[in-house]
Structure 1
């Protein structure tokens, strides 16, 4: 990891560049960033699940492309579009990713559940808000490989 290590609080957005950081803290930041990316995805997957439960017959192309089927039942195309519009980042997530919902949802939920406690009780908390773990900015995280 290049020094200074860039961090951000996903709750309040506070950023900090850390000049002094040990290996344990570096490892935590990698784990917390991975967790945060999965947690964000899980939130999107939960919204998709809610759409499918409420509108099991949806023909929305973004949703159907992730289920590979059109279900039977109620559909309200405008309501589905509105939910997608009102959910920050959901449209881009649906448009830019490829997965099978029935497999991805439980896998991501399991991964989040396995790491949540370690990250939430982690060694690096935001100094500004004190309630959230720190993560690496996404571009910085990707550059770390």
Structure 2
């Protein structure tokens, strides 16, 4: 059973929603967790605007609490999905050579834009993009 870790900057909107969307798409065939590079929102709920965007797509993000990435999380994962190239670059710098082969961009060849500081439409667009991206990882296929 593949173990996926989704990572964004703060585990406040993109990676927690990706965790939910991937878990729904993959069902019991995969285990998905999420984390952020920084601990700014540690133990805090997801961004309220992302909670609303998730709800509109049929997801409940209210129980999420942000977590900062740890080396144990990196070691636990079979695949580490970065939400954007900046996050991927940071992961490459911290993950060590034993985890390098696990790293990928969530959308394969492009970023999931960070909606923080933007209006609700940006969060909706982000959520739709993340949900569509689950097709890249369905059934344990990793691009």
Q: Scaled by the length of structure 2, what TM-score is found?
A: 0.24
Structure label with greater radius of gyration:
1
Bigger fraction of residues in strand:
2
Comparing both chains, which one has the higher relative contact order based on Cα–Cα distances under 8 Å and sequence gaps of 6 or more? 1
Q: Larger % of helix: which?
A: 1
**TM-score scaled by length of structure 1:** 0.23
